DNA sequence: GATAAAACATGATCGATCCTCACTTTTATA
DNA sequence: TATAAAAGTGAGGATCGATCATGTTTTATC
């Protein structure tokens, strides 16, 4: 899944070499994601994950040093997935009009993703209590914001440096607004997203 | 402190009638706030609170049904405090110019408050795992957003209904941006806050 | 195929923590 | 002072994360 070449040496405690082991690593993450989707990451029980994956507690701890490492591995998985989507959407932006289309598209996609994958919301809430996860997500967010700043720079024929701060703020606000939109009913969430698009698109299109 | 006439019957398990008891309730909340400020709300230990307040574990549980209730009581305290400040700031707004001044003022005050009271950030992070606290904070947020919508309506001579959705979104984004601003270094936080003010003030001043 | 080393697996057990409960002490009131 | 209500106590049950000593399977080497 994710974390095959983890930058942080601590994520999977053991680099699995045997086939059975690799399958179990995947199974652990699948089970954990399902459990988190059902009950939230704070209700995740190591014993439950072990049972669901068909292994013993001790074995589970050979794959992950502690519970939070499982959540971090899932976070890296979703990050990799969505970053790829972001890169594709922004790659060919070269004019203000394309920038606006891509930006609105990105927001809609992100909203749909968070709405349909409850695990993402739980990972985000775990961010509040796990400092490693928090910095992992902040790094990811800066990376995505940089992609947006690059696209803005190309659209306006300016230096990306100029847009860094704005792009970062808007990216963070976008995450916040999507979380908000997924926690209210459908009609209000539509109004909120549209209002946000209008407000930020204007900002992004300023040279 | 807060919660004397709690809407939620469950907050203080016992309505203290004796003087010593009222003092202890206050002491518990003071100690809890200090511990949370030092280590975060997830590191709060009931045994630690009891010891700090000079009472036994059993006694502590006569005041609060569980750990999260302590955090909720603190949340209500801070909510009451900041709502008063918000009401005062927005009360006399009657023109667009006054609205802009009041709005910017509110943002600056809120930023200073969150920066100087680490407990507020911890309460907010507890919001992610405690559904009761989450709905408490959402209700509070809607209430504050309604105050802002009223001020917008007065400034523009329109019906408050028209601004409800926008005010709610901007209020939530304001909370998000202040949290963001308090988690980065001072120069970046200044840039972020100014960018946000510019972007949202324009939105608020639209009729 | 025999042997050793490395990888993998097990679950009883420890320690930390939340919270309960049966019981005691203090305060208010008649 | 007698009585009831309020307040207080802390040992112990229950849960859960994590460890560790030990056992099993796979792989590499001759």
Please tell me the predicted confidence (pLDDT) of residue A188.
92
Interchain CB contacts (distance < 8 Å): A and B: 67
Residues A75, A120: contact at Cβ < 8 Å? no
| CA nearest neighbour of A41 among A72, A2, A76 | A72
Rg value, chain B, Cα: 19
Residues B44, B32: contact at Cβ < 8 Å? yes
Footprint of strand C on the protein (CB under 7 A): A 14, 16-18, 20-21, 24, 55-59, 61-62; B 18-20, 44-47, 57-58, 61, 65-68
Tracing tokens 């203080």 back to the chain, one arrives at: B12
| Chain segment A110-144, per-residue pLDDT in tens | 999 999 999 999 999 999 999 999 999 999 999 99
Of A183, A191, A200, the CB nearest to B165: A191
Please tell me the predicted confidence (pLDDT) of residue A39.
92
Evaluate if residue B205 carries a pLDDT over 70: yes
Please list, in sequence order, all residues whose beta carbon lies within 8 angstroms of the beta carbon of residue A42, skipping any fewer than 6 positions away: A125, A126, B129
Of B125, B129, B166, the CB nearest to A195: B166
How far is it, in rounded angstroms, from Cα B63 to Cα A131?
A: 32
Q: Suggest the residue from A137, A173, A177 to mutate for an interface test with chain B (most B CBs closer than 10 A).
A: A173
C-alpha dist (Å) from residue B45 to A101, A128, B52: 50, 18, 11
Residues B158, B149: contact at Cβ < 8 Å? no
Please tell me the predicted confidence (pLDDT) of residue A21.
72
* Burial label, B22 (beta-carbon count in 10 A; 0-12, 13-18, 19+): middle
Q: From the CB of residue A149, how many other CB atoms can be counted at a distance below 10 Å?
A: 23
| Chain segment B122-135, per-residue pLDDT in tens | 999 999 999 999 99
| Chain segment B162-180, per-residue pLDDT in tens | 999 999 999 999 999 999 9
pLDDT band, residue B22 (cuts 50/70/90): confident
How far is it, in rounded angstroms, from Cα B185 to Cα B189?
A: 6
- Give chain A's residues under pLDDT 50: 1-11
Question: What's the Å distance between residue A5 CA and nucleotide D23 C1'?
Answer: 31
How far is it, in rounded angstroms, from Cα A69 to Cα A10?
A: 8
Three-class SS state of A67: helix
- For B127, phi then psi, to 5°, come to -55, -30
Q: Output b/e per residue, B102-119; b: 16+ Cβ within 10 A.
A: bbbebbeebbebbeebeb
Q: From the CB of residue A128, how many other CB atoms can be counted at a distance below 10 Å?
A: 20
Reported pTM: 0.87
| Chain segment B69-111, per-residue pLDDT in tens | 999 999 999 999 999 999 999 999 999 999 999 999 999 999 9
Evaluate if residue B8 carries a pLDDT over 50: no
Percentage of the residues of chain A whose pLDDT score is greater than 70 = 90
Please tell me the predicted confidence (pLDDT) of residue B21.
75
Percentage of the residues of chain B whose pLDDT score is greater than 70 = 91
């Amino acid at each position: 899944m994710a974390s095959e070449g983890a930058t942080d040496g601590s994520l999977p405690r053991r680099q699995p070499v045997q086939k059975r082991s690799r399958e179990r690593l995947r199974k652990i993450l699948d089970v954990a994601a399902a459990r988190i989707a059902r009950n939230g990451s704070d209700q995740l029980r190591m014993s439950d994950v072990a049972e669901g994956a068909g292994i013993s507690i001790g074995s589970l701890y050979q794959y992950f040093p502690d519970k939070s490492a499982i959540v971090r591995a899932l976070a890296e998985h979703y990050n990799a997935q969505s970053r790829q989507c972001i890169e594709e959407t922004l790659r060919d932006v070269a004019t203000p009009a394309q920038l606006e289309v891509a930006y609105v598209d990105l927001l809609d996609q992100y909203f749909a993703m968070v709405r349909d994958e409850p695990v993402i919301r739980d990972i985000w809430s775990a961010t509040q209590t796990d400092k490693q996860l928090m910095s992992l997500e902040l790094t990811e967010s800066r990376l995505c914001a940089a992609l947006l700043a690059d696209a803005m720079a190309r659209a306006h024929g300016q230096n990306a440096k100029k847009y860094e701060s704005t792009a970062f703020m808007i990216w963070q606000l976008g995450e916040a607004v999507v979380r908000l939109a997924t926690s209210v009913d459908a009609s209000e969430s539509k109004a909120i997203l549209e209002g946000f698009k209008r407000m930020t698109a204007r900002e992004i299109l300023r040279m």
